[in-house]
Homo-oligomer: A and B are copies of this chain.
């Protein structure tokens, strides 16, 4: 008698984005003439750049000719791409072997699957608020315990509050934990960790043999040269950290699908030798994954060409110009806002201290603007609201104009 994995029943009932979609649909039905301005999901909107398009076309054409056709590639990714990534990190002063890089179909699969190479009794610490995938993947695999409706928390997770008081970067966990998810630039708060802040976590992790799972998916949005783009800029981080990244936000690959996870040979856990954890991830990927699309990997190679890098940086600048417009708009209304400077997310404090979902409804009904309620990212997000800088310029401008004209605060 086949039974289901009961951990699925522990997932908190309300899913953030479907609930947003439901409320939006309901509103639109009642107000069919209202033009909605979507600043909700962090989804890219601008075209792929010419260098990348050429790379992808080359990828397709390679497969159109038996002389250049390729079938299954290495599960770890194209050797050339792993070398190019190693060179790219090297150009930023970070020495990593191509063997430390594992190409995948994105940061979401990697950040959800990475827990599976660790013990099922691992104590998991997450930032609060956080990207829901860190929580849900640990719930489904039985590492998060049970959900308390009252607290809005899982009793098996260690929540690390990210608040105005700590500038949205958490204090060290109390007691010992095994796995620590850190995301910088942060989704949803837009906060970026400093070298000193990360150093404290690296020291903690080394002293407690914990492993830091560092999500750097927004690293290319950092323009301040003092802020670290990779956990591996911190001394000794390789011994206690792995890092996840992707081309989704750097090069508009949200629908194209390409990411990578760096598992340094030096990384160790309790009772393991250097190289063992890297081998574990290798074995995981070899069993559960069959490599990223060879077409997409050609596109990724093009991103790291001279032209591709230049164009991708322009793409980032475009979205960051959007962020500036949002920041300026909310500041003019006297709304307290965070992030938005080295990150594509603006994290606003709800005016009048109303709840995140109440502000969602208010913003939608008064201005037609859709954002993301902070409480959807965890209890620590209550009273906050995320505006995404991903969008066409005219959409962003229309949203801010409508907020300026119509929001009653």
Contacts and interface: CB of A to CB of B under 8 A. Distances in A.
A143 B113 CA distance: 18
A66 B2 contact: no
Contact of A289 (B60, B109, B270): B109
Interface in A85-138: 105-106, 108-109, 112-113, 116-122, 133, 136-137
Interface stretch (A45-53, A196-204, A359-367): A45-53
Interface stretch (A28-36, A68-76, A149-157, A339-347): A68-76
A5 B287 CA distance: 15
B118 A2 contact: yes
Interface stretch (A292-300, A349-357, A371-379, A396-404): A292-300
A48 B71 contact: no
Contacts of A133: 287
Q: Is the interface of A mostly helix, strand, loop or mixed?
A: loop
A277 B3 CA distance: 10
A351 B211 CA distance: 52
Contacts of A280: 4-5, 8
A191 interface: no
A41 interface: yes
Copies in the complex: 2
Nearest to A296: B293
A179 B1 CA distance: 8
A140 B118 CA distance: 11
Contacts of A208: 1
Interface string A39-82: 00101111110100100110011011110011111000000000
Given A11-B283, A56-B60, A289 B108 contact: yes
A182 to B, nearest CB: 14
Interface stretch (A164-172, A229-237, A250-258, A323-331): A250-258
A178 B108 contact: no
Contacts of A272: 4
Contacts of A175: none
A310 interface: no
A64 B53 contact: yes
Given A4-B280, A112-B287, A287-B137, A71 B45 contact: yes
Nearest to A179: B2
Nearest to A256: B293
A269 B178 contact: no
A276 interface: yes
A288 B112 contact: yes
A176 interface: yes
Nearest to A113: B288
A284 interface: yes
Interface in A267-284: 269-272, 276-277, 280, 283-284
7 contacts: A3-B122, A4-B117, A47-B65, A48-B60, A71-B255, A120-B142, A136-B287
Given A1-B208, A1-B209, A56-B60, 6 more contacts: A45-B71, A53-B61, A53-B64, A66-B392, A108-B288, A257-B293
